[in-house]
Amino acid sequence: MEDRNRDRGTIKWTSLMLPEHVELIKEVWQEDEGVPKKMIDEQQAEENELALQRAIQDGLLVRITYYNGFNYSDRKAKVLHLDPHRKKMSCMSTGNERITIEFEQIYEVVLV
């Protein structure tokens, strides 16, 4: 009898939620867990810079891996503008979302 009354936590509610809500809950859990930011070496920073410059010159898509404050995110995007004074870049993701990323948050840039 005790087994039937045992609370299953969030699992019993996820079947009643929209997929978007489930994704938001997963993101909140990731925030709680968190991943420390990795430092990149000079060579990786130089490769990232060259890839960004080539992408903006030739209008190529890139896959950007960046630290979002608690974990790493990957985005495929087209680089719109590099701002060395503010140390930021702006790009348009494949989902037509304009995002701004600080250079120090970028972990890896790969031409697609």
From the candidate CATH numbers 2.30.30.520, 3.30.70.1400, 2.120.10.10, 3.40.50.40, the one assigned to the domain spanning 1-112: 2.30.30.520
Domain ranges of the chain: 1-112
The model carries a pTM of 0.69
Least trusted range by pLDDT, from 17-26, 43-52, 65-74, 89-98: 17-26
Residues 67/107, Cβ–Cβ less than 8 Å = yes
> Which token pair is 88?
């930021």
Helix, coil or strand: residue 109: strand
Least trusted range by pLDDT, from 10-14, 60-64, 79-83: 10-14
Helix, coil or strand: residue 97: coil
pLDDT tens per residue, range 56-80: 999 999 999 999 888 899 999 999 9
Amino acid letter for position 98: R
Angstrom distance (rounded) from CA 68 to CA 64: 12
Residues 72/63, Cβ–Cβ less than 8 Å = no
